[in-house]
Amino acid sequence: MSPIKLAASLPVGGLTDFVVDPIVEAAVDVIDALGYAGVFFLMLLESACIPVPSEAIMLFAGFNVSEGQMTLFGIVAAGVLGNVVGSWIAWAAGYYGRLELLEKNRLIHINHKHLEWADRWFERHGDATVFFTRMVPIIRTFISLPAGVARMPFWRFTLLTLAGCVPWVLLLGFVGKQVGDNWEEWRDYLHYGDYLVLAAVVGGIIYLLIRRRRSSARAAEAGS
């Protein structure tokens, strides 16, 4: 059976495993080969909007701690540093690419009014948004890009990213150390959190679209 037909025949959970499992296997090979440098590199990719699952990276690194091959401090330091450097890349892409990629580009064009709304949002809630979303699956991978688009100051963004990354990376590394050989089972458990976050994001988008349509309808009625 071809990969496409196989993917189509799988349920949602199986489909995500079909996509994610090869990434996880590659991440394991990188850590086995490079050690702390591998943890740093993979967490950099994860924070630079490349969806390498941090759960798998840090749980497997924690497993290596339980085997005596690494230290908890070492994997947490490598993971946090990788996340911060990766977030700089995504932040810079949003900050310096805002004008060309979003305001002028016809294919990825975003209305200037929406950009101004994003600017206001980050002015009011940016600190809490960056800090707390660094501990939320899926969203944590991409939050740096809109922070850059909204021109959030670099050093404030860096400090909030650092503060938000430490508890997430430490928790995953510690859990991986405690569960040892069972780290893959725990990765599967955390997968359900990804589904919940994805469902919440989709629900939020639908809610905003419905709210926007109703606002436009009321405005049209008032105008007529």
Domain ranges, ordered by start, for the chain:
22-183
- pLDDT tens, residue by residue, 23-61: 778 888 899 899 999 999 999 999 998 878 888 889 889
Q: How far apart are CA 154 and CA 97, in angstroms?
A: 15
Tell me what pLDDT residue 12 has. Answer: 41
Q: How far apart are CA 114 and CA 149, in angstroms?
A: 11
Tell me what pLDDT residue 5 has. Answer: 41
Q: How far apart are CA 155 and CA 112, in angstroms?
A: 26
Q: At what angle do helices 12-34 and 183-223 cross, to 10 degrees?
A: 120
Q: How far apart are CA 24 and CA 188, in angstroms?
A: 12
Tell me what pLDDT residue 51 has. Answer: 78
Tell me how far apart the terminal alpha carbons of the chain are, to the nearest angstrom: 59
pTM here? 0.71
C-alpha distances out from residue 144 to 49, 61, 83, 140, 214, Å: 8, 24, 10, 8, 31
Tell me what pLDDT residue 79 has. Answer: 95
Beta carbons of 92 and 148 less than 8 angstroms apart: yes
Closest by CA to 185, choosing from 54, 20, 55, 76, is 55
- pLDDT tens, residue by residue, 82-130: 999 999 999 998 888 765 555 555 545 455 665 666 667 677 777 888 8
The pLDDT of residue 151 is above 50: yes
Q: How far apart are CA 119 and CA 18, in angstroms?
A: 38
pLDDT band at 9 (very low <50, low <70, confident <90, very high): very low
Write the single-letter amino acid at 43.
M
**Average pLDDT of the residues in 201-213:** 58
Tell me what pLDDT residue 127 has. Answer: 85
pLDDT band at 6 (very low <50, low <70, confident <90, very high): very low
